[in-house]
Amino acid sequence: MKGKDEPMKRHLCVTCMVGIMMAAGFASAAGNDNLTAGDKAIRNLLDTEFPTMRLWPDSPPDEVGEMKPENVELPEKEDGIARMGQVSEPTITVCRPEGVDGPTPAVLVCPGGGYHILAFEHEGTEIVQWLNSLGVTGVLLKYRVPRRNNGYAKHHHALQDAQRAMGLIRQNADKWGVDPDRIGILGFSAGGHLSATLCNNYSERIYKQVDEADEKSCRPNFAVLVYPAYLTEPRDSDNIDKLQHADKMSRDRTPPTFITVCQMDRFMRGATVYLRALTKAKVPAELHIYQEGSHGGGMRSYPFRRWAESCARWMKDRGLAGRSDDRD
């Protein structure tokens, strides 16, 4: 990504995007004074001023009391894991690729972290930059963590944030230069579980309607699940997570899905069980299993990182990346 020396054209594009968000009535965090610690860290890693918006105009729904201040832990080593915790002000950062004319596909990116923290760099900002290289608008979701255990399921607040984010993207598709019929979701580990859960729980919001954005469909048009967690319960069983409503899956209801995992990943069985459910429902899907790699590696470890090449091909074949006629 280009930084301070990027062309004036890029600066004007970003300025225009910020203006669009303000005109749309959203609380823009374009100024550093309005950014949380996590949003500042995201902006620093992206090295550019993509607009950041709060998901909720007022307090997010179903909160359980005052949270500790949002915190960020940056690794000492370059290949370490950057962690974000105590997120109570969820946001999206909208990252449109350079040099692309017309509406682009978009992908809502959900970092992992066990619903405890967000691994927001190697499963967040690095993924947004990769999507931009494919001509895709990446929308980085900073969803609420840790899980609120006051009577709520582990996914509850995160799913509210994901539903809301998808509605906002679709509501503002024209203004943000996004094709509303090519909006996907991509998640890692717990973020993969969140992504699958949204794919199977979009017909009704699990919060009271806030505004017109909540009237838009929050169904993803496609999904990418990278070492998804929690898709079986217990973990080593063939019992699919009840949230996925396997009995209701169908080609019309459930989005096409790309899944990837390592052979020795402790959540590998969940990936295969989910694929079987998709196959039974005749939902187009691919599963890529790599012999070597580790859970939580993102795109950093070889050979597992080659999932990104396969995923790019899968997206291009379906007109979900770059131009629809761009084939490898």
Residue 324 covered by a domain: no
- Cross-strand partners of 194: none
The Cα–Cα gap between 222 and 23 comes to: 29
8 assigned to some structural domain: no
Residues 29-54: pLDDT tens digits? Answer: 444 567 899 999 999 999 888 999 99
122 located within any domain:
yes
Query: Confidence band (pLDDT; 50, 70, 90) for 1?
Result: very low
- Given pLDDT bands bounded at 50, 70 and 90, which one contains residue 5? very low
- Is residue 136 domain-resident? yes
Q: What is the pLDDT of residues 127-142, one digit of tens each?
A: 999 999 999 999 999 9
Q: Considering the domain boundaries, does residue 20 fall inside one?
A: no
pLDDT, mean of residues 115-136: 97
Residue 151 in domain: yes
User: What's the domain range around 278?
Assistant: 53-317
Query: Is residue 89 one of the residues assigned to a domain?
Result: yes
For residue 22, tell me if it sits in a domain: no
Count: domains in the chain: 1
Name the band, by pLDDT with cuts 50, 70 and 90, for residue 149.
confident
Beta carbons within 8 Å of 96's beta carbon, 6+ residues apart: 13, 17, 50, 104, 132, 137, 176, 177
Q: In this structure, what CATH number is given to the domain that contains residue 105? A: 3.40.50.1820
CA distances from 48 to 39, 51, 94, 105 (A): 12, 9, 11, 21
**Token pair listed for 30:** 């374009």
- The encoded tokens of residue 87 equal 């997120």
